[in-house]
Structure 1
Amino acid sequence: MSLLILVVDDEADVELLFRQHFRRDLKAGCFDIGFALSAAEALQLIEEAQGVTLILILSDINMLGLSGLEMLPRAKAARPDVPVIMITAYGYAETRRKAFESGAEALLTKPLDFAILRGEIESRLGWAA
């Protein structure tokens, strides 16, 4: 059973960025990273996840169509066991409040600090940071 982190962002270049930062983990088979370019695509992937253990969802808040904040309660309803970390370029207090009220475990701001993100991932895998 493989471990999967799902990244949801409507900017396609995010995939390359994540694959570069976690290339050693991916090569070693520690976990895999899946990507969805929309909240709707992410919800479908969450529902259909077979043969993998979904360990974390990382979602941008501001996306075309369904926003990350709109997706969050639906993702939590489908998979209440999976933590969701929201990512935003704008760390407004109201956005933070809405994210946590909807079930987010954390809110990270762009540009992402991948050391902090690595710590979040490691804590969910039970690894020492």
Structure 2
Amino acid sequence: MNVMVVDDEQDITLLFKQKFRKEIKQKKLDFSFVFSAEDALTSLQENDNHLILILADINMPGMNGLELLKIIKQEYPQIKVFMITAYGDEINYQTALEYGADDYLTKPLQFEHLKEKIHHLI
């Protein structure tokens, strides 16, 4: 299953590779990492990579994750999108639901919980 992680914090790459080491090694999950919403859209337009899930941070410079979510759900409705935020903000939560988020997670991520959610999509 192909998963794109969209987060302006580049150290998230190493963290995901560590936490999902077993799943990556068994080729159950394949992660790609982009560091802005704009790069995520470019990647979606340029690559027919059979993306199943996008994990997107809400607070990023430039286009934020909620704006990205709205575009993805309009142009790629088959892709599941989990929003991630460091702030348990009710307005962002309601907006994410309104725009079609498939889930809403807060940082620090509980990786075992995230793994369960991802495995339900497989």
Q: TM-score, normalised by structure 1?
A: 0.91
Whether 2:86 is the aligned partner of 1:85: answer no
How far apart in 1 are the matches of 2:90 and 2:113? 20
Whether 2:91 is the aligned partner of 1:114: answer no
Runs of 4+ displaced beyond 3 Å: none
Provide the secondary structure at the position in 1 that maps to 2:2. strand
**Runs (5+) with no aligned partner, structure 2:** none
Q: Percent identity?
A: 45
Provide the secondary structure at the position in 1 that maps to 2:53. strand
**Match for residue 36 of structure 2?**
38
Q: May I ask how many residue pairs the two structures share in their alignment?
A: 122
Superposed, 1:1-129 pairs within 5 Å as 3-50=1-48, 52-125=49-122
Q: Judge conservation of contact 1:8–1:59 (CA < 8 Å) in 2.
A: yes
How far apart in 1 are the matches of 2:50 and 2:120? 16
Provide the secondary structure at the position in 1 that maps to 2:18. helix
Superposed CA RMSD: 0.9
How far apart in 2 are the matches of 1:66 and 1:6? 17
One-letter code of the match for 2:25? K
Q: TM-score, normalised by structure 2?
A: 0.96
One-letter code of the match for 2:112? A
The alpha-carbon deviation at position 84 of structure 1 amounts to 0.3
Q: Judge conservation of contact 1:46–1:75 (CA < 8 Å) in 2.
A: no
How far apart in 1 are the matches of 2:32 and 2:8? 13
